[in-house]
Chain A
């Protein structure tokens, strides 16, 4: 009697927790599940597909566990079989080598195709012209250079909506990972090397970006805003910045390299040519004497 009562209390408590969670979750922003870029969207859809396929096996496991533990519990009074020496059955075992195998074959095909389709180096087809942005992870801030527009920014990534953006990434710092969850998955930015990433944001808005890989004491402050605006607003921003912002000279860049934490966003005009390549060369070329320190 007491046991059944306790069971109801537990069940009720679980229900309350579930309801509270649903209410809470519907009120907050969950970037990975609310994509605003076509890559993040495809990744999200893939995630849902895989979860559904896996539930085909996982849910029966939970069901089976509950059923078996209930039915074959020593204390359970119902009539049940007891076969202490039953230890193998070809067909039964064959079945559960087969079920996960079939499932994994299906998942493998999906994985193989998706990995090719969503390779971060794949250009995104679009009627709009692709914009190139160079990203340098510094101690501890992000530098974005727009070579074609001759502007640059710190911790603020301006992007035009519905336009593919082609990122080239490197670091003048320990390994970092460049991640804007609502727009696309992440990729490492490493010193002396260059990685690439394509993003297409299909909704305007301001999204959060992070470094996902620990890079020293200022790591938590490597947060930036990705501001997706209309094409005209973007053009306006670029031309104003080019006119008004201070120039990103080599001297100013060498100053930026120095470690600093929680850096406010800033815009620059006329970035010195080759900052990105010199930053890579610095680590890769013997006897490097370039201007970038």
Chain B
């Protein structure tokens, strides 16, 4: 009888059972937080009667501006989650010395380290990047939409549910304890028999497919939807950098999809791609994952470069210096980023020729990057620099990125890398590139474009406080890690002996992390306070910074159709030039086609989530149903040939005039 019950349970629930619940108090706390957040959100929505609003305005929306806002909200939420991970990591490393074992078990610590890396890259850095692209890119190219709005919504919801899946692992089961790239054979079933690695695989898989679809969307948007007159060499630099980044996504993410699938096949179907033994090859995984992983770094950094190109030109009131050089530099970076991946494992025993080749190629990337740096400096030269907070983030970026970049060149020399590989020196290096480079740029972008989307500026005083806390905290946190690296401290250590003399530096680093935490706190306060006091900071002109590109020609907040009348572009800094000649638009209004709202994108992504979750737990009947539901969803979507509605010309005119009036008032 019991046997029959077991069979039934394993059919209905797969491997899911009560043992999946968290085993210790810290994990219980995390799990309850993860459960509490959505419950609180639900209560709030019910009390304020906003469910319908949520459905109409957000869940079913096809508007890239709203989707962009959602990306950034999710990313900030995950910044807090990843930050909580940091708090645990730093506490553990400050305490777990000699006889003390700190506050976490080894396995729990390793899960947190893995989750921190995964979340920060995939759901914070990528989320902020895609959010900003969604918000700004269509506006900058003078377009009313992206090429495929439905696909865009699907991309977002896949990203969203990838994020949900990572967090579900806090409540049911565990997460990978393998480091954020899950090298086999550690990540194989033999050494990691729990569901942790499966959670890792499938959350990245659905978020990754979302990114891939988004890239296709933005490539077509940039190549096919630029406004009349905007040829390639007249595109704003941000658009160029996004084009470079999205081409990289299109070439690199399929490799990730394939690699994750192969690891999943190893784990679920007993294949032998990366197993030790039976003809598997673990070194192949390392090659494949970095063939994606290295371009991924440039996927993140290129749009950041683009943001700074916009910010520096605007706040120096001067044209971007060396536009053509900048374009060539982006091209060079795109190409080179595919032939450097081996520098992540010089220590795997490859021959001198191979190591030397990849080392030199890595250094060559420093050339276009250096050129960009000099061009920014010369954009400021003979300009009129206004040191508003986006500009502060830029200066912080130059300092940190240069230090981090030098550390990068050091590690590009194979024999030096033998001494620094997998040490905290490396950890300090890539945090300097990704936080100092990407995240700082994203913060600059949010401050810079915030009024465009919401109609009021963020509070500048709090913005400055946030910047200084971040900068000082960041240097305090990561300079010690360089030294610890020289001391031989390797990454992902949950314990070390007291005689090594590392503890002081770990504590200093922890204090730095706390300062960063305070910086994030101030940022949240900045948002809250700026919303509360929004009347003081309203942007009535639509052009609060004396901007240069097309988005500043629109009223703030941008109306849902973006451009009432499409502009024509004759020069690079289109709006800047138009302002000079007091351009007056006398053209007629025309009908605008706007995509209708639909819940299908959300539902398809939800089904993808169900599929992923049930594959993690081997609940095959749900997986099958979810897959069928996705197919049915796609068929339903394809049956609808009227996906747009028409906003009549008169209506557009009326709306536009009322916006203009609002601006004058």
Does chain A bind chain B?
yes
> Does chain A have a CB within 8 A of B355?
yes
Known: A32-B419, A54-B406, A86-B318. A100 touches B349 (CB 8 A): no
**A274–B173 CA distance with the chains assembled, in angstroms:** 41
A82 touches B349 (CB 8 A): no
Partner of A32, one of B364, B383, B420: B420
B349 touches A187 (CB 8 A): yes
Chain B, 311-326, CB within 8 A of any chain A CB: 316-325
Partner of A221, one of B375, B414, B495: B495
A58 touches B352 (CB 8 A): no
Partner of B352, one of A30, A99, A115: A115
Query: Shortest CB–CB separation between residue A103 and chain B, in angstroms?
Result: 8
A50 touches B347 (CB 8 A): no
Nearest chain-B residue to A84 (Cβ)?
A: B318
Chain A, 65-88, CB within 8 A of any chain B CB: 65, 68-69, 72-75, 80-88
> Does chain A have a CB within 8 A of B496?
yes
B363 touches A107 (CB 8 A): yes
**A77–B370 CA distance with the chains assembled, in angstroms:** 31
B501 touches A28 (CB 8 A): yes
Question: How many residues of B sit at the interface, in one of the four size bands?
Answer: 35 or more
Chain A residues whose CB sits within 8 angstroms of the CB of B325 once the complex forms = 88, 93, 97
> Does chain B have a CB within 8 A of A239?
no
Nearest chain-A residue to B313 (Cβ)?
A: A87
Question: How many residues of A sit at the interface, in one of the four size bands?
Answer: 35 or more
> Does chain B have a CB within 8 A of A147?
no
Interface centre among B366, B383, B483, B490 (most CB of A within 10 A): B490
**A88–B324 CA distance with the chains assembled, in angstroms:** 8
Stretch binding the partner chain, chosen from B79-87, B132-140, B276-284: B276-284
Chain A, 101-134, CB within 8 A of any chain B CB: 101, 104, 107-108, 110-112, 114-121
Partner of B492, one of A74, A107, A214: A214
Nearest chain-B residue to A73 (Cβ)?
A: B385
Chain A residues whose CB sits within 8 angstroms of the CB of B383 once the complex forms = 72, 82, 84
Known: A108-B360, A114-B413, A208-B488. A185 touches B418 (CB 8 A): yes
Known: A83-B382, A87-B321, A283-B276. A47 touches B501 (CB 8 A): no
Interface centre among B347, B423, B494 (most CB of A within 10 A): B347
A61 touches B373 (CB 8 A): yes
B359 touches A115 (CB 8 A): yes
Chain A, 136-187, CB within 8 A of any chain B CB: 174-175, 177, 179, 181, 184-187
Known: A61-B377, A69-B395, A86-B321. A43 touches B183 (CB 8 A): no
> Does chain B have a CB within 8 A of A247?
no
A218 touches B106 (CB 8 A): yes
Known: A43-B418, A108-B360. A87 touches B323 (CB 8 A): yes
**A30–B489 CA distance with the chains assembled, in angstroms:** 10
B406 touches A100 (CB 8 A): no
Chain A residues whose CB sits within 8 angstroms of the CB of B380 once the complex forms = 68-69, 72
Stretch binding the partner chain, chosen from A1-9, A190-198, A228-236, A265-273: A190-198
**A44–B178 CA distance with the chains assembled, in angstroms:** 31
B487 touches A32 (CB 8 A): yes
B282 touches A175 (CB 8 A): yes
A111 touches B421 (CB 8 A): no
Nearest chain-A residue to B323 (Cβ)?
A: A87
A174 touches B191 (CB 8 A): yes
Chain B, 633-660, CB within 8 A of any chain A CB: none
B178 touches A214 (CB 8 A): yes
Chain B residues whose CB sits within 8 angstroms of the CB of A201 once the complex forms = none
Query: Shortest CB–CB separation between residue A15 and chain B, in angstroms?
Result: 15
> Does chain A have a CB within 8 A of B251?
no
Query: Shortest CB–CB separation between residue A170 and chain B, in angstroms?
Result: 11
**1/0 contact string of B451-463 vs chain A (CB within 8 Å):** 0000000000000
Partner of A185, one of B347, B375, B410: B347
Query: Shortest CB–CB separation between residue B7 and chain A, in angstroms?
Result: 32
**A140–B147 CA distance with the chains assembled, in angstroms:** 53
Q: List 14 A-B contacts (CB under 8 A).
A: A31-B486, A32-B420, A42-B415, A61-B402, A119-B352, A177-B421, A188-B347, A193-B283, A193-B349, A212-B423, A214-B491, A214-B492, A215-B186, A217-B110
